[in-house]
């Protein structure tokens, strides 16, 4: 080393030492879990101690949303940080064996694992993809180093080969046998953490729990013997309890490697609860999965990063799953470029109290003929018919339409909605019989 090289090493060293090492990021997603399904969100009959511990050690969002009340579009928004309707990913593909031909997270879009990989992360995914079946759309083509899971929208919890059109894969190889999928996905994620404990890692763990089919192992059902009598509710409770255990396994694995303080952990659901289908609950919200009422898009949403974001904080301003990508990139020391065209924002300054403003003045949703927008406490929405205006601060259950008593606000929000909708493109596919796009009735 000559003198000049030596001096330049000296100059660079303090900077390198001062920079925080990159934290690990673990993103856990539940499926069809409603706003009222966790203890920390008021659930009384199903204990969820591990999920609730994230609220205790971090932040619980009371107004946390996904960008669609339905599985695949939500995931397209989550994985890109962009409103999925900007790139035509508006609907599900339909069931695996009859999925629309051109379905998949458009290849024009860059997914979260690729962003994290570019920042030096080992990336692993364990669970439900639902963003394309064809080889070009496979998770390992979108930035994941490792993958274990299924590509469709739902799967048997017990039988790996239940649906020939929707197998379980390790990488690109079909798997013949599976443990209970919830246990298996959590176990695979924990093993990935074990293998990668010394390098920054990004884990995406999208459980199929608590989506149908209602299937649980006896050991989980037994927890509710004599406590829950309705058989469907009892199975649902067992499925949720198993997922909570899976989250517990991840938290314990981080602890085991002394990585808890070096890891940003997020949990949220992919849409609200379809109460009639799986007994999940959204109270006190109106509506369900597949609807742009609050019950369809407002979900349990939790984040912990001990020492970096506050502990036991309840955060009431609206946030959206689109914020995860910029938040993770910022945590990793990266900076999104203009041409990423993100709609989400980095939440860390807001959670740390460094930014006293709100992450979003407005939020928007479009799902076929349904649409909605938030502006502060106000929500303008339509189920495909005349729009209604609600004040969520005084009426979280969306019961009193104020469109005629607040005509100026109604007008202004309608204009803003239309301006946002200009940035959307037509849906790239519209599956037969999917929710949200009821056939327009012919006017008589």
> How would DSSP label each residue in 218-265?
HHHHGGGTTT--SHHHHHHHHHHHHHHHHHHHHHHHHHHTT-GGGEEE
Residues 6+ apart with CB under 8 A from 136: 104, 107
Find the part of the chain contacting Ca ion (CB under 5 A) among 71-79, 216-224, 392-400, 430-438: 71-79
Contact 131, 72 (CB under 8 A): yes
Q: Which of positions 203-232 make contact with Ca ion (CB under 5 A)? A: none
- Closest separation between CB of residue 271 and Ca ion, Å? 5
Report the alpha-carbon distance of residue 175 to residue 171 in Å, rounded: 10
Calculate the CA 14 to chain-centre distance. Answer: 38
Nearer to Ca ion, 209 or 427 (CB): 209
Contacts of 14 (CB under 8 A, 6+ apart): none
Count of residues near Ca ion by CB under 5 A: 5
- Residues 391, 398: Cα–Cα separation, whole Å: 8
- Closest distance to Ca ion from the beta carbon of 95 (Å): 14
Segment lying near Ca ion (by CB under 5 A), choices 269-277, 345-353, 398-406, 436-444: 269-277
Residue with Cβ nearer Ca ion (104 or 274): 274
Q: What are phi and psi of 243, to 5 degrees?
A: -65, -40
The answer to whether 71 contacts Ca ion (rule: CB under 5 A) is: yes
Indicate the residue among 31 and 183 with the shorter CB distance to Ca ion: 31
Q: How far is the CB of 33 from Ca ion (least distance, A)?
A: 8
Given 43, 68, 71, 138, the catalytic residue: 71
CA distance 426 to 436: 15
Site for Ca ion in 136-155 (CB under 5 A): none
- Based on the residue annotation, tell me whether 130 is a catalytic residue of this protein: yes
Distance, CA of 46 to CA of 237 (rounded, Å): 6
Which of 63, 183, 221, 270 is the binder for Ca ion (CB under 5 A)? 270
Contact stretch for Ca ion (CB under 5 A) within 25-33, 57-65, 172-180, 397-405: 25-33
Q: Considering the complex, what minimum distance in angstroms separates the CB of residue 19 from Ca ion?
A: 38
- Give me the residue label for tokens 């619980």: 60
Per CB under 5 A, the segment of 75-83, 196-204, 240-248, 268-276 that binds Ca ion is: 268-276
Task: Rank residues 32 and 52 by Cβ distance to Ca ion and give the closer one.
Answer: 32
What is the rounded distance in angstroms from the CA atom of residue 87 to the CA atom of residue 66?
17
Closer to Ca ion at the Cβ: 143 or 153?
Answer: 153
Residues 6+ apart with CB under 8 A from 10: none
Integer Cα distance of 249 and 28 in angstroms: 12
In order of 44, 235, 277, 328, 425, the CA distances from 47 in angstroms are: 7, 14, 21, 29, 43
Among residues 70 and 148, whose Cβ is nearest to Ca ion? 70
Task: Tell how strand 370-375 and strand 362-367 pair up.
Answer: antiparallel
Marked catalytic residue, from 65, 89, 130, 155: 130
Give me the residue whose beta carbon is nearest to Ca ion: 71
Task: Note whether 406 and 294 are within 8 A (CB).
Answer: no
Does residue number 31 form part of the binding site for Ca ion (CB under 5 A)?
yes
Smallest distance from Ca ion to CB 55, Å:
21
Provide the terminal-to-terminal Cα distance of the chain, rounded to the nearest Å.
Answer: 86
Q: Which is nearer to Ca ion, 68 or 345 (CB)?
A: 68
Give the shortest CB-41-to-Ca ion separation in angstroms: 17
Half-sphere exposure of 147 toward its Cβ, with a 13 Å CA cutoff?
Answer: 21
The smaller minimum CB distance to Ca ion, of residues 71 and 329, is found at 71
Return the DSSP state at 128.
E
Q: Which part of the chain contacts Ca ion (CB under 5 A), choosing from 64-72, 167-175, 220-228, 324-332?
A: 64-72
CB of 75 to Ca ion, least distance (A): 9
Residue 381, interface with Ca ion (CB under 5 A)?
Answer: no
> Does residue 71 carry a catalytic annotation?
yes
Q: How far is the CB of 31 from Ca ion (least distance, A)?
A: 4
Stretch that binds Ca ion, among 2-10, 267-275, 335-343, 348-356 (CB under 5 A): 267-275
| Cα of 11 vs its chain's centroid, Å | 42
CA gap 132, 140 in Å, rounded: 12
Q: Note the residues at the interface with Ca ion (CB under 5 A).
A: 31-32, 71, 270-271
What is the set of active-site residues?
71, 130
């Amino acid at each position: 080393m000559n003198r000049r090289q030596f001096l330049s090493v000296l100059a660079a060293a303090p900077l390198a030492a001062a920079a925080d090492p990159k934290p690990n990021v673990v993103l856990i997603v539940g499926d069809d879990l409603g706003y009222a399904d966790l203890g920390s969100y008021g659930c009384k009959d199903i204990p969820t101690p591990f999920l609730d511990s994230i609220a205790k050690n971090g932040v619980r969002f009371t107004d946390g949303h996904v960008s669609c009340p339905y599985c695949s579009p939500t995931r397209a928004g989550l994985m890109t940080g962009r409103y999925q309707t900007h790139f035509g990913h508006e609907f599900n593909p339909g069931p695996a064996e009859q999925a629309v031909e051109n379905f998949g997270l458009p290849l024009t879009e860059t997914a979260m694992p690729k962003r994290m990989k570019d920042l030096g992360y080992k990336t692993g995914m364990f669970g439900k993809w639902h963003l394309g079946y064809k080889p070009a759309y496979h998770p390992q083509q979108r930035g994941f180093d490792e993958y274990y899971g299924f590509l469709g929208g739902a799967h048997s919890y017990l039988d790996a080969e239940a649906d020939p059109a929707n197998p379980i894969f390790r990488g690109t190889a079909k798997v013949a046998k599976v443990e209970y999928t919830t246990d298996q996905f959590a176990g695979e994620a924990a093993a990935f953490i074990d293998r990668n404990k010394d390098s920054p890692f990004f884990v995406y763990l999208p459980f199929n729990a608590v989506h149908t089919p209602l299937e649980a192992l006896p050991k989980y059902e037994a927890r509710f013997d004599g406590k829950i009598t309705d058989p469907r509710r009892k199975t649902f409770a067992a499925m949720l309890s198993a997922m909570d255990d899976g989250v517990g396994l991840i938290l314990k694995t981080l602890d085991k490697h002394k990585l808890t303080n070096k890891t940003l952990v997020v949990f949220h659901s992919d849409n609200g609860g379809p109460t009639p289908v799986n007994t999940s609950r959204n109270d006190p919200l109106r509506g369900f999965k597949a609807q742009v009422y609050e019950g369809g898009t407002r979900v349990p949403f939790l984040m912990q990063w001990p020492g970096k974001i506050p502990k036991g904080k309840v955060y009431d301003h609206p946030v959206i799953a689109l914020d995860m990508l910029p938040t993770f990139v910022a945590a990793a020391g990266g900076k999104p470029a203009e041409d990423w065209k993100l709609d989400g924002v980095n939440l860390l300054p807001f959670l740390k109290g460094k930014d006293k403003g709100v992450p979003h003045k407005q939020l928007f949703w479009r799902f076929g003929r349904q649409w909605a927008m938030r502006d502060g406490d106000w929500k303008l929405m339509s189920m495909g018919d005349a729009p209604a205006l609600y004040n969520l601060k005084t009426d979280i259950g969306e019961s009193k339409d104020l469109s005629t008593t607040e005509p100026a606000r109604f007008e202004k929000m309608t204009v803003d909605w239309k301006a946002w909708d200009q940035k959307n493109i037509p849906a790239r596919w519209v599956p037969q019989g999917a929710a949200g796009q009821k056939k327009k009735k012919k006017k008589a």
